[in-house]
Structure 1
Amino acid sequence: MNIHQYLTYEVTELVREETEGEFLPDDGTENEVINLYPHMRYQTMEGFGGAFTDAAGFVFAKMSKEQQDALLWQYFSPEQMNYRMVRIPVDSCDFSTHMYAADDEKEDEEFNHFSFQEVEQYILPLLDRAEAYCKQKLPIMLSPWSPPAYMKTNLNRKEGGFLKKEYYSRWARYLCRYIREYTDRGYEIQRLSIQNEPKAVQPWDSCVYTAGEEQRFIRDFLVPEMEKNQLSHIEIFIWDHNKERAFERACEVMSDKTEELVAGVAFHWYSGDHFDALSLIQEKFPDKKLILSESCLEFSKFGKEDQSVNAGRLAHDMIGNLNHGMSGFYDWNVLLDENGGPNHTGNYCDAPFLYQEGTKELEERFVLRYYWHFTHFIQPGAVRIATTCYTARLDVTAWENPDRSIAVIILNRSSSDLPYVLRISGKLVKCMAKASSITTALIKE
């Protein structure tokens, strides 16, 4: 049994090192041990992906062909990030050049003026290039930020508001019309969330649902309309918001036959760890998928220059989610400009790639190299295995891949080097986690 270690850490910039080692017979060591138990198996990983927003497509269109190819290679090549899924907003979101809807005419009940013009401008060219690079269809998750303004109690795409009861049926038809537009053009819609952040009243596109409203909309309007349109194969995800209330929301929405109609719970990271919320959902609803649908660092909360610390924050969240049942991951914008936009309300955020419009340079952010450890080494179809670790200062997750290799990802966010002894099946190897580092140990027979 051999081990190959891939180490990423900070000096003045990110450094990557590779080392090889060999497991020796277990000598009875009790201290500084990380145990791996391949016979204890948990969820299967679907894969990783990111969001194709209007903003990402807008910035992508400004880059040179060489830069575009480099970005696609980094994200979608099996030798690199191996992304295989994308998330796309229904109509505009905050990361759009402006607010828009495919049809915002109140009198147009049959959607005769429905138009994909805005989607065609920036999102579809990025999607087409990515699918051409992959030579396959990329399964899409659609998420609405707001219904058209006339359907809402506040008559505004922004500032929350509720979906008016008299428009439940029409909004369900709108969503099916939206899905049909993609499928008729040859794209693959895999899943739909009911509403992005249904508890948040935002100064950008947003809409509020109570649990009862979400339940009623799914059960009495959306699912019947999807059945009518032969769209029953599309997975429905609830919540699509932060973890701290995810469990109670899941219990409330799936308190009746709606449970049979829901594929899983989508969640975000913005309110803290709350990893146990995922375990509670899994315990209560063991057949439901747990998907992280959005994760990024807002520049209003996290310093743009604190790249190593910020990358560590996101990697910590990734490991915690993986260890508590997450089976799929969508990063937020795959690309933004140097300000963390465009964003029509100034809600600027970080992304793995930032494009410097002045110098025409494509900047790789630290989080890109941290995420690489997960997306490259945890293959689609991998199964999580059990671990124990001697210290809370190290975050650890381990996965057995379809090719029988085992990927162990170890995050050290502390300012000290930390030794560890990796132990599996009566064998062990001594290793070191450098300060402010992330390591993948790939174990093969």
Structure 2
Amino acid sequence: MNPPHLPARRGSLQGGGRHVWQEFPGRRSGDRGDSADPAGEHSLSLHPLLHPRLPWLRVPPFTGSAPQDPPELGGHGGAMGAVGILSWLLLLQTVPWAAGARPCSPKYFGRDAMVCVCNATYCDTLDPLVLPAPGSYVKYESSKAGKRLERSQGSFQPNATPGPRLLLTLNVSALYQHLKGFGGSLSDAAALNILGLSQQAQDNLLHSYFSESGIEYNLIRLPMACSDFSVRPYSYDDVPHDYELTHFRLAEEDVKMKIPLLHRASAMSRRPLSLFASPWTSPGWLKSNGDVRGKGTLKGQTGDKYHKTWANYFIKFLDEYAKHNVTFWAVTVQNEPLAALLTPPQFPTIAFTAAKQRDFVVQDLGPALARSPHRTRIIILDDQRIHLPHWAKVVKTSFPPAQVLNHFVAGWTDWNLALDLEGGPNWVKNYVDSPVIVDSSKDIFYKQPMFYHLGHFSKFIPEGSRRVGLHSSCRRLICQLEHVAVLRPDRALVLVVLNRFGWDAPFAIQDPAVGFIETVAPANSIQTYLWRQQ
């Protein structure tokens, strides 16, 4: 059996994940939105971006000799003796869900691949986050050596020991962009995989993503109708020439799968969830090629009946979801609009240039949203970072500069929340990776290293946080550590430090208002530090 850590094919067209997006408000009288410094990209412009897909977050082969190792779940791959397994089973029976953090149950796929296994009766968890007392800090660490968001604590010191180590100095008075949050995408494929588990295992998976015992995602991206990560091509109105959209209907994938999962995730989360929707394709009869699949643009020109109908399709989508008590923070105009110019013929897509998307927003989608009851924002681009700044420059020609600068936000939204062992289902066979891999035949799911890496951000950086100044004493072109500092709305500070290299890196943290932390970033590790100044 191949390991569940699938090759990341993020360069493939129509991947749908981790896109750059820039947000503009609906053009509403008196609606100014939230003021924020320009961040520029929604793939989390944290200066630098700490990339969540790192192959080194793995450990050597499992020997089963350590008495603290939890048993393998799902009846395969374990080397622990019967006494150890019995002890763990007895422990699991006595520990309720909210009793505290549970360790990872590891499964090893060769030398360099470890995942944490969850099923209906057991899943690793985190304690609810509690801010440390002033003068102390907490640290969470994940590493190739096997740690998964492992918590420890310590105290600030008044002075640092002299030495050549790296020094990171915070400057809380230098405030940068506001952060919207972190999350993933509830595609048809993700919903199918989650619902393919037993009810208890489903709950464990959703808790892992959205609850206080998990990594607390607050963003969810939803495809409007099909994406390539569906089991079939479809739209919400496949009746030709229905310009009034009288035959518009949500699909079973929405009503029976995604909407119930959204309600369950929301009920588990202590943070408000922000949803945004992205279309892959219009109905075929609105496209130049007459098919939801393949290269094509909207028929006609902006402002005509085709574009007005497509804009009203967005409103119908928002209307129908609202009937199920689901509202959307934003919509993107189109998933990967430029990739659609090159896409293979089987992909669902619509192509837009920056100018065409600008004109569609100004003449059709923006006015349609302004007339609707939905206070939903519009996100442009929804494509690769390499298209910036050109795309934003073109769109800004129709918006006053002050309005644009006051409506940038920053965040990271990953692609599918869960996929199967093949990296699907995907009806065009565009298989990719995911933080969670589901094996429904055994009623288990694997939490991959990238799940915990993303958690080093999503768990500790809530919506409304702001990046702050962080000075590094490193003067080389390439420094061993990557890092970012954030001020939370509750005034606590977060520092994330990444060591991509195969050797330890001693360093010190200085907060002039508190003192020093002398610490080490182990080889191939990521750490999150949390403290408050008073």
Whether the TM-score (by the shorter chain) exceeds 0.5 is yes
How does 1:76-115 map onto structure 2 within 5 Å? 76-115=210-249
Q: Deviations over 1:114-135 (max 9, x none)?
A: 1113321322222122123338
Letter in 2 for 1:84: N
Match of 2:492 among 385, 405, 422: 405
- Asked whether 1:428 is paired with 2:516, we answer yes
SS in 1 for 2:297: coil
Any conservation in 2 of the 1:138–1:188 contact (CA below 8 Å)? no
* 1:172-228: CA deviation from partner (whole Å, max 9, x where unpaired): 111111111112321111101110100013231111101111111111111222222
TM-score norm. by structure 2 comes to: 0.68
SS of 1:415 mapped into structure 2: coil
Distance 1:260 1:174, change over 3 A: farther
- Of 316, 322, 338 in structure 2, the residue corresponding to residue 177 of structure 1 is 316
Structure 2 CA distance for aligned equivalents of residues 17 and 197 of structure 1: 37
The gaps in structure 1 that reach 5 residues or longer are 262-284, 291-326
Counterpart AA for 1:39: S
Cα 1:137–1:102, aligned 2, differ >3 Å: closer, same or farther?
farther
- State the secondary structure of the residue aligned to 1:130: helix
In structure 1, give the amino acid aligned to 2:361: I
Distance change in 2, residues 1:30/1:135 (3 Å)? closer
Count of residues in Structure 1 that have an aligned counterpart in Structure 2:
384
Aligned to 2:459, the other structure's residue is in SS state helix
Which one of 389, 408, 413 corresponds to residue 247 of structure 1? Answer: 389
In 2, the alpha carbon distance for the partners of 1:59 and 1:109 equals 35
- Which structure has greater strand proportion? 1
Q: What is the alpha-carbon distance in structure 2 between the residues aligned to residue 350 and residue 440 of structure 1?
A: 24
Distance 1:123 1:9 in 2: 33
Residues 1:116 and 1:45: Cα distance change in structure 2 (over 3 Å): same
2:117 is aligned to: none
State whether residues 206 and 265 of structure 2, in contact with CA within 8 Å, keep that contact through their aligned partners in structure 1.
Answer: yes
- Give deviations 1:120-172, integer Å, cap 9, x for gaps: 13222221221233388633201111111111112222222111125111111
Contact 2:139 2:529 in 1 (8 A): yes
Q: Gaps spanning 5+ residues in structure 2: where? A: 1-134
The answer for the alignment partner of 2:348 in structure 1 is: 205
What is residue 331 of structure 2 aligned with on the other side?
Answer: 192
2:216 alignment partner, SS class: coil
CA contact (8 A) 2:167 2:507 kept: yes
Residue number in structure 2 paired with 1:134:
269
* Separation of aligned partners in 2, 1:396 and 1:185: 42
Corresponding position: 1:26 with 2:152 = no
Q: 2-side partners of 1:396 and 1:377: how far apart?
A: 14
CA contact (8 A) 1:86 1:140 kept: yes
Deviation at 1:382, TM superposition (A): 1.8
AA of the residue aligned to 2:516: L
Percent of pairs with identical residues: 29
Structure 1 residue 16: Cα displacement: 4.8
SS at match of 1:156: coil
SS of the residue 1:239 aligns to: strand
Secondary structure of the corresponding residue to residue 80 of structure 1: coil
Q: Is the 8 A contact 2:228 2:427 kept in 1?
A: yes
- Inter-partner Cα distance in structure 2 for 1:384 and 1:136: 20
Q: Which letter does structure 2 place at the counterpart of 1:125? A: P
**In 2, Cα distance between equivalents of 1:197 and 1:42:** 28
Secondary structure of 1:226's partner? helix
Structure 1 Cα separation of the partners of residues 169 and 199 of structure 2: 46
Q: CA deviation at 1:15?
A: 4.6
- The correspondence of residues 152-171 of structure 1 with structure 2, limited to 5 A, is 152-165=287-300, 166=304, 167-171=306-310
2:421 matches 1:288: no
- Given candidates 137, 141, 152, the residue that maps to 1:7 is 141
Identify the residue that residue 8 of structure 2 maps to in structure 1: none
How far apart, in 1, do the equivalents of 2:159 and 2:489 lie? 26
Determine helix, strand or coil for the equivalent of 2:432. coil
8 A contact 1:26–1:423 mirrored in 2: no
User: Is 1:440 matched up with 2:524?
Assistant: no
RMSD: 2.1
Q: Which of 185, 201, 209 is the aligned partner of 1:75?
A: 209
Residue 414 of structure 2 corresponds to 331
Q: Could you tell me how far apart the structure 2 residues matched to 1:74 and 1:348 are?
A: 23
Is the Cα contact below 8 Å between 1:137 and 1:187 reproduced in 2? no
In terms of fraction of residues, the more helix-rich structure is: 1
> Match for 2:326: what amino acid?
Y
Contact 1:49 1:329 in 2 (8 A): yes
The more displaced of 424-433 and 90-99 is 424-433
C-alpha deviation, 1:402, in angstroms = 2.4
TM, length-normalised to structure 1: 0.81
**What is the CA-CA distance between 1:29 and the residue it aligns to?**
4.3
Bigger relative contact order (CA 8 A; separation at least 6): 2
Which whole-Å deviations, capped at 9, do the CAs of 1:390-413 have from their partners, x for residues lacking one?
442211011122222211100101
Shift of 1:98: 1.1
Q: Is contact 1:219-1:258 (8 Å) kept? A: no
Structure label with greater radius of gyration: 2
